[in-house]
């Protein structure tokens, strides 16, 4: 009998219901992000635990942290992969540093930086050393640069969780993820524009359109003192109008007062002198060079003369990306700038550097708001139905996976009917079916699970992979 004569077409009378759409804003009972409902993975077709078993968990995620469940976690991974690919194409190598460092590494971020003074998860370990969970990655990357002295320019990208003891709210967590790049060893304005363009184009790739790039130059160590003096005088003259917090910040770092979002400070900040009026010839020329390349690349930006950002180390080019789709308080989806003094501060040679970090969690919130980047569902290719006990499912699963085919199966020796139900819900386009007859004959049934017309074909074990692949392309 020819192979084709063994093919039968089954017309579906009762086709399975389409999968529920992804719902990324689904919050689970415990505040986790995920898609228990509508998630086209095996769990979707799985069995729900009795609600009594999960109603009152003994332990929950610590405040300000969340579980990111399958579906949303796959989407986050897809975002990181897309970023890594974009960075690789621009000549950046992947770097991975420890999640904790000597506390001193982060103290270099500046004594007036909230991240250092209030938000650090620091601890004395059993070895007596004082460490901190990383609140950001620039300091760690620059520490790695100083430690390993790679060839310059050193262009690297990174991804991973950061830890800040902040007051949690929507879009602000105590553990959150960032992707970013750092480029050390050159202050060519072309690299400033390159890193900015990398971030800008990445947002475009995701489909985000409601993003504004704010750009500023904070001057360098020669022109900044005159500006700081003018700024200090301005704030001193308006001291009584400032909030209590800003009155304090003024004593430590007048620049950081510009970063205040507190209402009473706004009119004083609006009237403050701006750094761009104080730039010396060299920094002004550098800033003009950055803008020229951005113009050439047709990347739109707004000059924001009061943009200082939260970390103290920035000099010259500074930038921030804001999503106008997100509510005001937590609408920054990324930012960065030049930190030409940081390598020397960390004990290395004088080395200019520039980089950015983008907030993964907030980017995905912005994607939700704009209805973009709904990552492809991670469906399996084949669902294995084994009614001979389960050993065949294990064997065939291993063979198919080795051949690069994603598989799933049912467990607990369930009935053929029950297994088909799970297979239908899994979203897999194909089912591989083994019953006692097939086991005895050394054959396997291959069935299509999607579409109006269902095909069923009997294949031999040796041709299984070839037949599956043929139907998956």
Q: Toward ligand AMP, which CB reaches closer, 312 or 361?
A: 361
Q: Does 70 bind ligand AMP (CB under 6 A)?
A: no
- Strands 8-11 and 154-163, by their bridges, are unpaired
**Total number of residues shown for the chain:** 473
Q: Is 91 left (phi over 0), alpha (psi -120 to 50) or beta?
A: left
Least distance in Å: CB of 311 to ligand AMP? 6
Map residues 107-146 to x or -, x wherever contact with ligand AMP holds by CB under 6 A. -----------------------------x----------
Which of 357, 365, 400, 459: binder of ligand AMP (CB under 6 A)?
357
Name the β-bridge partners of 211.
323
Interface region with ligand AMP, contact rule CB under 6 A, candidates 13-21, 149-157, 169-177, 417-425: 169-177
332 binds ligand AMP (CB under 6 A): yes
Interface residue with ligand AMP among 99, 112, 153, 172 (CB under 6 A) is 172
Selected binder of ligand AMP within 39, 75, 291, 362 (CB under 6 A):
362
- What count of other Cβ atoms lies within 10 Å of the Cβ of residue 28? 16
- Single out the segment in contact with ligand AMP by CB under 6 A; choices: 140-148, 168-176, 404-412, 433-441: 168-176
Count of residues binding ligand AMP (CB under 6 A)? 16
Least gap, CB of 24 to ligand AMP (angstroms): 16
State which residue, 362 or 425, has the beta carbon closest to ligand AMP: 362
Tokens of 323: 């999503």
What's the CA gap between 43 and 422, in Å, rounded?
A: 9
The answer to whether residue 335 forms part of the interface with ligand AMP (CB under 6 A) is: yes
Question: By C-beta, is 325 or 430 nearer to ligand AMP?
Answer: 325
359 forms part of the interface with ligand AMP (CB under 6 A): yes
To the nearest whole angstrom, how small is the minimum distance from the Cβ of residue 463 to ligand AMP?
Answer: 52
Mark residues 282-311: x for contact with ligand AMP by CB under 6 A, - for none.
----------------------------x-
Q: Which residue is nearest to ligand AMP (CB)?
A: 359
Long-range contacts formed by 450-453: CB under 8 A, 24+ apart: 451/12, 451/15, 452/11, 452/12, 452/15, 453/9, 453/10, 453/11, 453/12
Binding site for ligand AMP (CB under 6 A): 136, 164, 166, 172-173, 176, 178, 310, 332-335, 357, 359, 361-362
């Amino acid at each position: 009998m020819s192979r084709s004569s063994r093919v039968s077409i089954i017309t579906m009378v009762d086709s399975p219901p389409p999968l529920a759409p992804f719902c990324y804003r689904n919050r689970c009972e415990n505040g986790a992000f995920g898609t228990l409902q509508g998630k086209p993975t095996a769990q979707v077709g799985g069995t729900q635990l009795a609600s009594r078993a999960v109603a009152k968990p003994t332990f929950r995620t610590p405040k300000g942290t969340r579980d990111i469940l399958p579906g949303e976690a796959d989407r986050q991974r897809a975002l990181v992969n897309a970023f890594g690919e974009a960075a690789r194409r621009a000549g950046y190598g992947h770097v991975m540093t420890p999640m904790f460092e000597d506390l001193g590494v982060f103290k270099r971020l500046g004594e007036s930086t909230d991240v250092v003074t209030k938000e650090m998860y620091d601890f004395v370990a059993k070895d007596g050393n004082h460490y901190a969970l990383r609140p950001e990655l620039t300091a760690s990357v620059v520490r790695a640069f100083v430690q390993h002295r790679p060839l310059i320019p050193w262009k690297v990208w990174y991804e991973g969780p950061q830890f800040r003891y902040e007051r949690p709210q929507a879009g602000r967590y105590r553990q959150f993820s960032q992707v970013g790049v750092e480029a050390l060893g050159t202050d060519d304005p072309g690299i400033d524009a390159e890193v900015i363009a990398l971030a800008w184009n990445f947002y475009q790739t995701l489909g985000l359109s409601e993003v504004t790039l704010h750009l500023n130059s904070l001057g360098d160590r020669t022109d900044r003192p005159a500006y700081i003096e003018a700024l200090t005088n301005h704030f001193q003259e308006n001291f009584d109008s400032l909030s209590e917090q800003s009155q304090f910040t003024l004593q430590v770092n007048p620049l950081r007062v510009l970063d205040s979002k507190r209402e009473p400070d706004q009119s004083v900040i609006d009237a403050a002198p701006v750094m761009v009026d104080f730039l010396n010839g060299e920094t002004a020329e550098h800033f003009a060079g950055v803008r020229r390349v951005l113009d050439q690349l047709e990347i739109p930006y707004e000059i924001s003369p009061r943009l200082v950002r939260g970390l103290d180390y920035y000099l010259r080019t500074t930038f921030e990306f804001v999503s106008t789709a997100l509510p005001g308080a937590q609408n920054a989806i990324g930012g960065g700038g030049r930190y030409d003094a940081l390598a020397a501060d960390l004990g290395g040679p004088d080395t200019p550097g520039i980089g950015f970090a983008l907030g993964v969690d907030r980017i995905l919130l912005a994607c939700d708001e704009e209805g973009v980047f709904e990552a492809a569902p991670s469906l399996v290719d084949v669902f294995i139905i084994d009614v001979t006990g389960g050993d065949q499912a294990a064997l065939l699963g291993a063979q198919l996976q080795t051949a690069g085919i994603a598989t799933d199966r049912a467990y607990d020796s369930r009935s053929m009917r029950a297994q088909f139900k799970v297979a239908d819900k899994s979203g897999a386009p194909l089912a591989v079916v083994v019953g006692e007859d097939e086991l005895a004959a050394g054959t396997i049934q291959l069935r299509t699970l999607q579409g109006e017309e269902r095909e069923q074909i009997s294949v031999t074990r040796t041709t299984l992979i070839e037949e599956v692949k043929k139907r998956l392309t």
